[in-house]
Amino acid sequence: MLFFRALAAALLAGTTLALSPAAHTASGQPIFVAPSGSRVKPVGRNMEVFAPNGTLIHTFENVIPTNLKTKRASSQPIRRQDLSATEAYAEFGPTDVIQSFNTTFVVPPAPTTFESQIIFLSANVQPLDANGVPFGNLRAALQYGGSSVQGGPFWTYAIQLEVPPFGFLQVTNIGANPDLDVGQHIISTLVYDAEFSDDGIFWYIASFDNVTDAPTLEVGWQVPPQIAALELEVEGVSQASDYPAGSFVFEQVNLNLTTGPPTISWNTSVDPTTNVEVTVDVDGSENAQISIVFPSS
């Protein structure tokens, strides 16, 4: 009897603390929506979502792998390549801490055809487990196309945490219009929150710094994210006109570690099922430039 009462209480607690998915991706992953300024904190194997007022509003359960390398680990997991990603990326060792990862870009023309495709363009950071598999992806993304959370045949912002393969958390500002204008200059920042990170957790804030009313999201992990990537993700694209014309350029890419700007050269990877290319126009961690070149036909 007591056991059942405890169980019922636990289930009740679980329900009151859970957000309902606002939508699902095409592959069935849930998308949860939280207020701007929410924080996602690792507790054991869970990621707990706290609203800006400190209330626990959601728990992603058992999403943190058990085989994390600690700060003192000597060998570096080599990232498993994701064949469906088109990106330029840099990989760091387990003792490196990314201080900031910024870029600017201009919102490109919209694709000339819309057939419910979704396009995400983002600078993002990803923590890896001991096998080199990412278990998170924090990004301030430029979105084209409608998810059932927002959007349509136009550009919007989507400030998100992906918890692969368990779903997405996206933040919104109530009443804010997420639409972005073609030709608008955007600053994307991912910044290490050093002041907050005195609890053995590495906290990062994602935002579009100079977009009025754009939300922010802060996420912590027990290990520093080892991947910084400039990435294109697409779903439902079938012809050249489903992409913007020309290229999308990540300009003024600045990547700093807590030890200062590293000497890096960007690695690239393309999704072999598309004709999209990635070019490193200016290499390095300071004022680099990376282009995503869309097919012309």
Ligand X SMILES: *[C@@H]1O[C@H](CO)[C@@H](O)[C@H](O)[C@H]1NC(C)=O
Least separation in angstroms between residue 118's CB and ligand X is 25
Q: Report the nearest approach of ligand X to the CB of residue 181 (Å).
A: 10
Q: Which residue is nearest to ligand X (CB)?
A: 185
Token reading at 215: 């939300």
With respect to ligand X, which residue has the nearer C-beta, 231 or 242? 231
**96 or 235: CB nearest ligand X:** 96
CB 170 within 8 A of CB 163: no
SS3 content of the chain, % helix, strand, coil (to 5): 5, 45, 50
Q: How far is the CB of 76 from ligand X (least distance, A)?
A: 9
In the complex, minimum distance from the CB of residue 244 to ligand X, in angstroms, rounded to a whole number:
19
Least separation, in Å, of the C-beta of 282 and ligand X? Answer: 15
Cβ closer to ligand X: 60 or 243?
A: 60
Task: For CA atoms 164, 167, 173, 176, give the dihedral sign.
Answer: positive
DSSP state of 77: P
Interacting residues with ligand X (CB under 6 A): 35, 51, 53, 55, 57, 90-91, 99-100, 102, 104, 185, 187, 189, 191, 209-210, 254, 256, 258, 260-261, 264-265, 267
Which residue lies nearer to ligand X by CB, 168 or 243?
168
Tokens 């728990």 correspond to: 59
CA distance linking residue 130 with residue 133, whole number of Å: 7
Cβ-based nearer residue to ligand X, 181 or 199: 181
Cα-Cα end-to-end distance for the chain: 68
Q: Is the dihedral of CA 63, 69, 71, 76 positive or negative?
A: negative
Minimum gap (Å) between residue 101 Cβ and ligand X:
8
CB 180 within 8 A of CB 142: yes
| Identity of the residue, 113 or 268, whose beta carbon is nearer to ligand X in the bound complex | 268
Q: Which is nearer to ligand X, 18 or 240 (CB)?
A: 18
Please check whether residue 134 is in contact with residue 164, taking contact to mean a CB–CB distance below 8 angstroms: yes
Question: Nearest 5°: phi and psi at 251?
Answer: -100, 165
CB of 7 to ligand X, least distance (A): 25
Contacts of 76 (CB under 8 A, 6+ apart): 91, 93, 94, 226
